[in-house]
Amino acid sequence: MDQDDWITGRVTLRIGAQPVDLEMTVPAQPVPLHRMIPIFQQVTNLFVEASTGVAASDGRAVSCKAGCGACCRQAVPISEAEVQQISELVEAMPEPRRSEIRARFAAGVARIRPTGWFEAMDATVTAPPPEPAEAARQKLTDLALQYFHLGVPCPFLEDESCSIHPDRPLACREYLVSSPAEHCAVLASGTVRKIEMALKPSRMLRRISRIERFGPGRFLPLILALELAQDHPRELPQKTGPQWMADFFGELGRTQQD
């Protein structure tokens, strides 16, 4: 894009009691939502920084570091926009890396599919809960643990570190712990202490990008990204950068009022 195709603006976010000024340069012309993901990554990083600062004031330090990839065997939730982003990220890789990454995705899906996990998760998140909210949450927890115990690594995990760290999903950015790394390796109940975030931009992105491209209310795990993008091609809606940001911050505002 030419210089005239961009707009720069400032937004003040309130993270807890702390106001944070954010300068953003966004496309002036209509673009699909996944082109805006670098901006949402920047916003997420601000929320994470604020949350880790609060934890540090309570004497809790983040224990996550390169070489500790236990969390990279979890069912990472991604948005419809991130499905497209990840697909294009892999497509842009040179060979033979592109084929290697594709093969890892395919192997992971092949390991999970016979267990019926995808169908069980879809049924759980799309069906009206017939039981109390606590029971529904327990079902989701049980499914998350089932996925973790399959031991399927993220296709981008190499030497227990993220090989696409600058481009990793928003949910990955938000997942930080202060408990010892060995606790993450077993995910035993009550032993993993997360750094809590007042707001999670990953949820806001999932909401504003939802066009039911892959079916109503589905849970979209990262491991299915390439398959979903290939099996459900569709012309994606486009808006200008300011319009997408208004949608995003509108969701943040509604969440704060809930």
What are the residue boundaries of the structural domains of the chain, listed by start? 3-257
Contacts of 140 (CB under 8 A, 6+ apart): 124, 125
How much is the pLDDT for 248? 93
Q: Mean pLDDT of all residues in the chain?
A: 89
Q: Which residues of the chain have pLDDT under 50?
A: 257-258
How much is the pLDDT for 182? 77
How much is the pLDDT for 181? 75
The whole-angstrom separation of Cα 195 and Cα 53 is 10
Rounded to two decimals, the pTM is: 0.91
Give the chain's length: 258
The whole-angstrom separation of Cα 91 and Cα 93 is 6
Whether residue 172 contacts residue 157, with contact meaning beta carbons closer than 8 Å, is answered with no
How much is the pLDDT for 57? 87
Instruction: Report the Cα 55 to chain-centroid distance in Å.
Output: 22
